[in-house]
Amino acid sequence: VLLLTLNKLKVKNLIPYLLGGVAMWYFMLHSGVHATITGVLLAFTIPFHATDGEESISYKLQHFLHKPVAFVILPIFALANTAILFNDDIAEVLTTNNSIGIATGLIAGKPIGIFLLTSIAVSLGICKLPEDLNWKSIFGVGLLAGIGFTMSIFITLLAYDNETIVNNSKLVILISSLIAGLLGFITLRLTLKKA
């Protein structure tokens, strides 16, 4: 109620909202309701309408938090929730048919599929490439699509019951996502330098 009142009074200082959010998180944590709900409720109370040409508090907070969330919090969250056990014999894990299939799909299948479907759509006149975009860039973006870390793990959990296969698949997904991301970055870096 206090946070909604601050919003209605159009308080532009972020500190009262953050203090109220910490208090709400504390009480939620001890009430038995999952404390992450606090973030959602807090987001609804922070004003997002800009006034007098100024950027809104919500906009400022979003831009302030973007890099730490994208580059630190989300990767830690994703890795912490994967629960990968590193096997002593990684070479054996990486050479199973399952592992080769996963790696091929993420590193080669994604870019080839995206490149081919885009070229088919362009050749059929369904869409048109922007003038400042070339086919090498499309292939680079296709490589970045191979990063599909969380969705690949979700599919793995649906597909397999065997804990060893699930763990080995997660390890291969992690390695393949890193390789695909690195190759995509290098491809786009070289392509965009020339453009």
Domain residue ranges in the chain = 2-68, 90-194
The confidence score (pLDDT) of residue 140 equals 94
Cα–Cα dist 54/137, whole Å: 36
CB proximity list for 139: less than 8 A, separation 6 or greater: 111, 114, 115, 187
In the predicted model, residues of the chain with pLDDT beneath 70 are 51-53, 81, 194-195
Cα–Cα dist 24/171, whole Å: 38
The confidence score (pLDDT) of residue 58 equals 82
Cα–Cα dist 8/47, whole Å: 9
Ramachandran angles phi, psi of 110, nearest 5°: -60, -55
The confidence score (pLDDT) of residue 114 equals 95
Cα–Cα dist 15/37, whole Å: 20
pTM: 0.62
The confidence score (pLDDT) of residue 53 equals 65
The confidence score (pLDDT) of residue 51 equals 67
The confidence score (pLDDT) of residue 81 equals 67
